[in-house]
Amino acid sequence: MISLENIRIFMRAAEAGSFSAAGRSLRMSPSVISYRIQALETHLNCRLVSRTTRRMNLTEAGRVFYERCLDIVESVERAEVSVTEAGATPRGTLKVTAPLGLGRRVISALAARYREEHTETDIHLRLSDHLLDLVQESVDVAIRLAQLRDSTFTLRKIADIERVLCASPAYLEQHGTPQTASELLRHSCLLLRFPGSQQFRWTLMVDHEFNTLPVSGRLDADDCDVLIEWALAGQGIVMMPLFEVAGHIASGRLVPVLPDAPPQPVTLGVLYPTRKMLPLRVKAFVDMSVEGIRRHVSKELAIVGKKL
């Protein structure tokens, strides 16, 4: 009899594009992934994947089999969800990702509270200011603060978030306050940088249209909290979501720069895989996250007299 578990492993490998990536998401070694897929191929008496040193590709038979398996696995998941819903108790493992700052200040506490309320669940929380590949990482819930374009996931939008340029009074006293967007090119800009990052290009509203500037600086990091600390220490100008620096602006430790040329807003929202029937554990966490994040952001924005 064909193994449903082997089918799921094959599908994860097909989506991830390699045995190693599938192994990381499933917590299995690449050799185990390979063995399970070989067992599936032996049972079906056909080759499903072609392997190279770095990637795997589906054969024609593999593509057909994958498409047919989508319906099978979805039916099984629908049956599982129906049973879970009947008991009204979230069960199973959730893999959650969130930005570092928001994750530390909000999501970590929400995850702990969720786990206390739903004792039959496990949560794997991964915090990063990198935009992780949600498919390769097998993410169930992703909190994102970015320009969101991932059409394979459903977005539960919280709000479009205002961003602000700011610097410490000491930095502006020493280096001067930019009066036009182009003057940023002569300043030390604190940049969020990681492979694939576009944050070294700042898009600002100038003369009623967005313009992108190739700013630069001698300090960059892959952690927004580090950038804020550098700004507070007088190391340069930083671009941040307003709610992340509202307290520092209210206290005068940071001063807004170029308020008439605001940065392009970003979307704050919760992403989860698009499915006809969402597992109860995912739905419950999404609902709790949206409520908790909205409350936190509203509280921070109120410090500077803004509303969400």
Q: pLDDT of 184-216, one tens digit each? A: 999 999 998 876 565 578 999 988 889 999 999
CA distance 238 to 167: 6
| Confidence check: pLDDT of 129 > 60 | yes
Domain ranges of the chain: 4-86, 89-160+267-302, 163-264
Could you give phi then psi for residue 273, rounded to 5 degrees? -55, 140
214-217: long-range contacts, CB 8 A cutoff, minimum separation 24: 214/185, 215/184, 215/185, 215/187, 215/189, 215/191, 216/185, 216/189, 216/191, 217/187, 217/188, 217/189, 217/190, 217/191
Mean pLDDT, to the nearest integer, of 158-185? 95
Mean pLDDT, to the nearest integer, of 253-266? 95
- Residue 94 tokens, joined: 């959730």
Q: In what order do the strands lie in the sheet with 255-257?
A: 220-221, 189-192, 237-241, 163-167, 255-257
Task: Compare 11 and 114 and report the one with higher pLDDT.
Answer: 114
Mean pLDDT value across the chain:
87
Task: Compare 280 and 114 and report the one with higher pLDDT.
Answer: 114
Domains 4-86 and 163-264 share a fold: no
CATH topology of domain 4-86: Arc Repressor Mutant, subunit A (1.10.10)
pLDDT-based confidence at residue 78 (cuts at 50, 70, 90): low
CA distance 235 to 171: 7
pLDDT-based confidence at residue 154 (cuts at 50, 70, 90): confident
| Confidence check: pLDDT of 254 > 70 | yes
Mean pLDDT, to the nearest integer, of 8-12? 84
- Residue 116 tokens, joined: 């206390």
> Residue 150: exposed, middle, or buried by beta-carbon count in 10 A (0-12, 13-18, 19+)?
middle
What confidence score (pLDDT) does residue 241 get?
Answer: 96
- Residue 113 tokens, joined: 């509270």
pLDDT-based confidence at residue 291 (cuts at 50, 70, 90): very high
pLDDT-based confidence at residue 125 (cuts at 50, 70, 90): very high
- Residue 196 tokens, joined: 């694939």
In angstroms, the Cα distances linking 225 to 197, 303, 306 are: 16, 19, 22
What confidence score (pLDDT) does residue 53 get?
Answer: 57
CATH topology of domain 163-264: D-Maltodextrin-Binding Protein; domain 2 (3.40.190)
| Confidence check: pLDDT of 163 > 90 | yes
| Contacts (Cβ under 8 Å, ≥6 apart) of 246 | 300, 301, 303, 304, 306
**Architecture of the domain made up of 89-160+267-302:** 3-Layer(aba) Sandwich (3.40)
| Confidence check: pLDDT of 84 > 60 | no
> Residue 215: exposed, middle, or buried by beta-carbon count in 10 A (0-12, 13-18, 19+)?
buried
- Going by C-alpha positions, the residue among 168, 298, 160 that lies closest to residue 227 is 168
Mean pLDDT, to the nearest integer, of 235-253? 97
Q: pTM for this structure?
A: 0.73
